[in-house]
Structure 1
Amino acid sequence: MGWVGLASIPRVVLEIARREADRLGMSLEEYLVETITRSLDPRERAREYLRAARELLEQAETELGRGDVRQAAEKLWGAAALAVKAHALARRGRRLSSHGELWMYERELEEELGEWVYDAWMAANGMHTCFY
């Protein structure tokens, strides 16, 4: 796995994507994965969410090594959000499409799996807050 750079993307398209991601409370990467995988069946989409989450974790490690805490934090948050979305799709066939739905699903997981879910989610949310 690895990250690839786009050869060329119009700045206006990138700005639109960033604005939409911000409006939805998503990282840019999470927004792009969500948009691009929209047509996949739920199980395949869940697998792609997990693949993207793993890549975001790898990228976060690279960013930390460079000293770019802000970018690492954004990628960690995106990885956590995609992992939760993958779980919802794979286990329950539910598509989480908003920040609020992520939080509601986290509470369901916490009730089912224990308080550690809350602790992990709050740590991830701290990364999201660090980004801003």
Structure 2
Amino acid sequence: MKNGKMRRYAELSDKYIDDAKILLKNSDLAQASERLWGAFASIVKVKAVASKRNKQIKTHDGISFYVSSISKELKDESLINASLTVNAMHQNFYENSLTIEHVRKRLKTIRQFAWCPQIAAN
């Protein structure tokens, strides 16, 4: 069951990133922003299930709490910064006020977060 959940979340994350790239090309920044937030949330869920905690996260608050906890344990503030940055993507879905450059940079942030192996080890 653990591997099935991890695979499902990983597939969702990949899909959302691919969708965001297409939406960025079409200048649909609100939808691209929401897909990037979804990709980040899915990555957090993969890492939470993969961790020693084998934790399931079901809420927005749960995502923030998990990232905050891991950030403190690892003494890595960049994880909190990534979370705050990506939350701006979720807000942009409703506000549609960010530029294409802002949204593109968040794609890079999400990719860096996805490849942070120490998060899944805790």
Q: Report the TM-score, using the length of structure 1 for normalisation.
A: 0.66
Q: 1:58 aligns with which of 10, 18, 22?
A: 18
Query: RCO (CA 8 Å, sep 6+): is it higher in 1 or 2?
Result: 2
Residues 95-124 of structure 1 show CA distances to partners (whole Å, capped at 9, x for unaligned) of 011111111101112113301101111111
2:83 equivalent to 1:121: yes
Partner Cα separation in structure 2 for residue 120 and residue 101 of structure 1: 15
Partner Cα separation in structure 1 for residue 61 and residue 91 of structure 2: 15
Identity of paired residues, percent? 32
Partner Cα separation in structure 1 for residue 69 and residue 20 of structure 2: 27
Specify every segment of 5 or more residues in structure 1 that has no aligned partner in the other structure, as ranges: 1-40
2:41 equivalent to 1:88: no
Partner Cα separation in structure 2 for residue 125 and residue 57 of structure 1: 16
Q: Report the TM-score, using the length of structure 2 for normalisation.
A: 0.72
Partner Cα separation in structure 2 for residue 43 and residue 112 of structure 1: 25
Q: Which portions of structure 1, spanning 4 or more consecutive aligned residues, are displaced by more than 2 angstroms? A: none
- Residue 74 of structure 1 and its aligned partner are, at CA, apart by 0.6
Partner Cα separation in structure 2 for residue 112 and residue 86 of structure 1: 18
Look up the SS of the partner of 2:87 in the other structure: helix
Residues 50-73 of structure 1 show CA distances to partners (whole Å, capped at 9, x for unaligned) of 121011111101100001001100
- Residue 43 of structure 1 and its aligned partner are, at CA, apart by 2.2
User: How many residues align structurally?
Assistant: 92
